[in-house]
Amino acid sequence: MRKGVMRPGHVQIRVLDIEEALKHYRDLLGLIEVERDTQGRVYLKAWTEIDKFSVVLREADHPGMDLMGFKVLNNEVLEQLEADLIAYGCEVEHIAAGELNGCGRRIRFVAPTGHHFELFAEKEQPGKWGVSKVNPEAWPRDLKGMKATRFDHCLLYGPNIEETYALFRDVLGFDLAEQVVDPEQNRVAVFLTVGMKAHDVAFIDCPEPDKFHHASFYLETWESVLRAADLISMTETPIDIGPTRHGLTHGQTIYFFDPSGNRNEVFCGGDYHYPDHEAVTWKAEDLGKAIFYHDRVLNERFLSVLT
């Protein structure tokens, strides 16, 4: 049952060199550079997003994901979810309004997979970038690179998949859209959504906690995924796989790496989900086809290259 969590709001990614990272996230992915804060973090957004930012880059000595934040409907929902998290046995941390520029207070907790998540209700809302709020044109003409339209989801690796699914389902109101089960019927991957999208966050079982597989950005068409592949080659950007299709969610996708080794995805299409949909199941023994529908085999990097 939905609990008032609306959507992924932001992801904070660690990068080794902020200027190199900007060439990637701004000039190649086509995110809009919004501003920098006093800590040197850089804020970016995709052009269709109405909130101030969705990606925060933080320079650090090792790559990976610091945290992923979800926006909730309003402050009453935020207070209720905080109480529910505490009642469920989660430790919550209060992050003051303004710690991220333009973002209201955040409630942070650690999932059983070891990842840091946060909930917030308020963020400055300047509207879509480059188009008017009244009579908006179809798209801004000065977008760069892949012209990413929105931050869509993260795929995260860690232990305790079942406990993490239970937390996201029972406390935060996520639905299980898709799952991968092993021959003993244990879930080894869960794809979770709070809306109609195929997934807002997904987890794959892995003994090591708090690992980052990819942050994903939505493109409009298959042709724009192909064009992204061309740009990846033009810029000598390390590629992981694609363009191809996923079996899970059926999105049309390409994976590549930022200069720090963090994996990114851009994709289009994909299945939709309503609350009465039964979860789609893939068998773990067919994981190759589930992940890379055409090749039907996993490349080694998919399971081993994490940040």
Per DSSP bridges, beta strands 175-181 and 280-283 are parallel
Please give the sequence-ordered ranges of beta strands (E in DSSP) within 135-273, or none if there are none.
150-158, 175-181, 187-193, 201-205, 211-218, 239-245, 251-257, 263-269
Count Cβ atoms within 10 A of the Cβ of residue 73 and give its class: 0-12 exposed, 13-18 middle, 19 or more buried. Answer: middle
**Which CB sits closer to Fe ion, 109 or 302?**
302
Candidate residues 164, 216, 237, 260; the one interacting with Fe ion per rule CB under 5 A = 216
Stretch that binds Fe ion, among 81-89, 140-148, 164-172, 209-217 (CB under 5 A): 209-217
Q: Which is nearer to Fe ion, 80 or 299 (by Cβ)? A: 299
Instruction: Tell which positions 121-160 bind Fe ion, by CB under 5 A.
Output: 155
Which residues have CB under 8 Å from 178's CB, separation 6+? 189, 190, 191, 198, 199, 248, 249, 271, 279, 280, 281, 282
Give the active site residues: 153, 199, 214, 246, 255, 265
Nearest distance in Å: CB 250, Fe ion: 12
Q: Tell me if 68 sits within 8 A of 14, measured CB to CB.
A: no
Task: Enter the tokens of residue 306.
Answer: 């994490």
265 binds Fe ion (CB under 5 A): yes
Given the complex with Fe ion, which of 112 and 270 has the nearer CB atom?
A: 270
**Shortest gap between Cβ of 2 and Fe ion (angstroms)?**
22
DSSP H helix total and E strand total for the chain: 6, 17
Which residue sits closest to Fe ion, CB atoms considered? 216
Q: Is 178 in the site for Fe ion (CB under 5 A)?
A: no
Residue 172 · residue 111 · CB < 8 Å: no
Alpha-carbon span 120 to 139, nearest angstrom: 28
Q: How far is the CB of 40 from Fe ion (least distance, A)?
A: 28
Paired residues of 264 in beta bridges: 215, 256
Q: Which stretch binds Fe ion (CB under 5 A): 109-117, 175-183, 217-225, 262-270?
A: 262-270
Query: Do residues 118 and 106 touch, judged by C-beta distance below 8 A?
Result: yes
Q: What is the DSSP letter of 103?
A: B
Minimum distance of Fe ion from residue 191's CB (angstroms): 9
Q: Which C-beta is closer to Fe ion: that of 34 or that of 219?
A: 219
Give the binding-site size for Fe ion (rule: CB under 5 A). Answer: 3
For residue 260, state whether it binds Fe ion (rule: CB under 5 A).
no
Cβ of residue 211: shortest distance to Fe ion, in angstroms? 15
Classify 267 as helix, strand or coil. Answer: strand
Nearer to Fe ion, 175 or 265 (CB): 265
Count of residues making up the chain: 307
Element (H, E) at 304: helix 300-304
In the complex with Fe ion, the residue whose CB is nearer, 106 or 246, is 246
State in angstroms the smallest separation of the CB of 264 from Fe ion: 10
Task: Give the binding site for Fe ion (CB under 5 A).
Answer: 155, 216, 265
